[in-house]
Amino acid sequence: GALFGPGLGAFIIARASQITTGAVLAYAADSISYLVSVISLLFIRVSFQMERATEKRRSLYREIADGLRFLWQQRLLRIMALLTTVVNFLQSPITLIIIVLSRGSLHIDVQTLGFVLSAEGVGGVLGGVIAPLLRARLRFALIMIGSVIVWAGAALLLALAPSAPLLIVGFGVIGLLWPVYGVTLVTYRLSITPEHLQGRVNSAFRFLSFGSEPLGAAVGGLLLVSPGGQTVLFLIAGGLALSSVAVLFTSLRKA
């Protein structure tokens, strides 16, 4: 979806007589794709889960507390959860900012904007290919901290980009690093978490890290009004750079 979706959506909008009509058609096509996915699930005849022994049901709040407690007790895992929460907060408004800048000061047409947004998906595919190779050859800390530093550079590149080509490079780099960062992070988390706590710890981690995204998008959207998209990208780059420096003073640096 991230690979072909933006380009296909931009193509549909560009072919329509009016942008509004094209946007309606693009959303209709997106809705139909979800409907097709739902229908396809009806043809799956195997169970999604293996049978398990009946366990005594516990309070949902107690299970959530178990996941959060284990997460917080593991120093390195706690640092990574906080780092990922900050990174997601900072990066969540980038797509919106690029759309506003592209259609505003950069005067990029809709179809080219689709190619820009597709660059993140292309980068993600490439990142998925190289992630296991990098994980096997580089230190854990180097991948985690290095990813944040390069993300800061990519955000700076987006802020300074005068045209679509540099936007494509910046977006591609952001997408490239997410699988690398994610594979390294999840591999470590799975390796230290007891099997019976896997679901709870995963839920707690994702609640913290993904929970910051709506807030980041909202703050980024408000800042788009003033001081503007380019300045917000500079702030994002600065925030990511400061985050990478901050974790250098934690135990993550020696991991």
**What are the tens digits of pLDDT across the range 169-183?**
999 999 999 999 999
- HSE-up (13 A, CA, CB side) for residue 153: 10
The Cα 101–Cα 95 span in angstroms is 10
Q: Which residues contact 58 (CB under 8 A, 6 or more apart)?
A: none
**pLDDT (tens digit per residue) in 101-112:** 887 888 888 778
Which segment of 47-51, 88-92, 108-112 scores lowest on mean pLDDT? 47-51
Instruction: Give the mean model confidence (pLDDT) for residues 44-65.
Output: 67
- Of the pLDDT bands very low, low, confident and very high (cuts 50, 70, 90), residue 27 is low
Nearest by Cα to 228 from 170, 159, 166: 159
Q: What is the DSSP letter of 249?
A: T
Contact 161, 167 (CB under 8 A): yes
What is the rounded CA–CA span in Å between residue 241 and residue 152? 6
- As a whole number of angstroms, the distance between CA 252 and CA 250 comes to 5
pLDDT, residue 48, reads 59
Among 23-32, 35-44, 67-76, 233-242, name the most confident range: 233-242
The residue ranges of DSSP E strands in 116-198, in sequence order, are none
To the nearest 10°, the Cα dihedral for 147, 149, 150, 151? 80
- Flag whether pLDDT at 151 surpasses 90: yes
What's the mean pLDDT when you consider all of the chain? 83
Outline where 110-196 has alpha helix (H). Answer: 110-137, 140-160, 164-192
Q: How confident is the model at residue 7 (pLDDT cuts 50, 70, 90)?
A: low
pLDDT exceeds cutoff 80 at 84: yes
From 49-53, 89-93, 225-229, the region with the lowest mean pLDDT = 49-53
Task: State how far the Cα of 66 lies from the Cα of 182, in Å rounded to an integer.
Answer: 23
| Position 246 confidence tier, pLDDT thresholds 50, 70, 90 | very high
**What is the reported pTM?**
0.81
Q: For residue 172, give the nearest of 98, 227, 246 by alpha carbon.
A: 98
